[in-house]
Amino acid sequence: MEKDSTYTGQKDKRTLALIKPDAIQNTNEIEDMILKNSFTILQKRQVTLTAEQCSDFHTGSKHYGKLFPSLVAFMTSGPILAMMLKRENAIGAWQELIGPTNSTQARESYPDSRVLSDVRALFGTNEEKNAVHGSDSPVSVEREIRFFFPNSNPTRPVIIFGPFKETIYDRLMTDKPDKFAISVPHTTRPRRDNEINGQYYYFVPSREQMEEDIQNHLFIEAGEYKENFYGTSVQAVKVSESVIKYLRVAGLYSITIFIKPPDVKWIYDSMGADANKESAQKLYDKTAVETEQIFLDMFTAVVKENTLNDVYEKICQIIEEQQNID
């Protein structure tokens, strides 16, 4: 289940990663390394395993034997973070990034300690306390993902940057009403006789449930009014750009698309009857220059097409590709 059994299948697009108890304090640094190496974190959850769960997870692994009791004690000593990762050749790429099973050997493989780049070399201690885990085969991936993520087909929020994003949002919801919808707020107040659940509000059965969901980062924002909670769920199409990092805390990694206009003329030509050069220039400065400078590292795709209709078609294609994790 570790790097020693290297698998290099090029078509495998997802794998399981665990940050172990000894490296949980380094979660932010490890996630940064993951994202900088072209992975997408599709789902994540933090758990503390019981001895029985740990035994079930490692059934059939090379750790069964004299080292197994020690492994169980270590893996149940504190929280771990499970992550479902996606990219081309995900299994091999993750094993390459984490390095050899033994963290000591991983460090020894770098003659200059200042250029350590493997996760285990940076954050692990030895063979057992080696910071992270990675699946070693497609069979292991499927079993291990099911272990930590029984419902492993998440719906990823879609966030669009750039000019005419509202036009694209509206067309998505018109053309594909079964897939896209504007955010409907949740509330704990009682439903009135003439109200339909999901039309203007989702009515949460209990205050306790919504409090728990808020604590689990399932709401972008929430507040209390007249002893009832109101909140906006992270599962929405029209999500403010400023909450992308909040979505990541909640374990929801958005499909974040930037519409990149080639020049001011493209915007002017796409504005239709309301076109004027001053407005086109302002829109270009705001959406093509400022937005790209601030949010470039958050984009999962950049779209640059000849017409607005071509932009829409390309965005539909990107959403389909990035939403599909199989």
Decide: 204 and 210 in contact? Cβ < 8 Å. Answer: yes
Burial of 20 (0-12, 13-18, 19+ CB in 10 A): buried
For the chain, the distance separating the N- and C-terminal CA atoms, rounded to the nearest angstrom, is 21
Decide: 133 and 2 in contact? Cβ < 8 Å. Answer: yes
Distance CA 243, CA 234 (A): 9
Query: Among this protein's residues, is 133 annotated catalytic?
Result: yes
Please say whether the dihedral angle defined by the alpha carbons of residues 271, 276, 277 and 279, taken in this order, is positive or negative.
negative
Write out the two tokens for 240.
């403010």
CA 200-157-258 angle, 5° bins: 120
Distance CA 28, CA 113 (A): 21
Q: Spot the catalytic one: 58, 63, 133, 186.
A: 133
Residues 252-280: b if buried by 16+ CB within 10 A, e if exposed? bbbbbbbbbbeebebbbebbeeeeeeeeb
Residues 101-135: b if buried by 16+ CB within 10 A, e if exposed? bbbeebbeeeeeeeebebbbbbbbeebbbbbbbbb
**Beta-strand relationship, 255-259 and 80-86:** unpaired
Distance CA 67, CA 54 (A): 13
Residues whose CB is less than 8 angstroms from the CB of residue 310 and which lie 6 or more positions away in sequence, other chains included: none
Could you give the residue numbers annotated as active site?
133
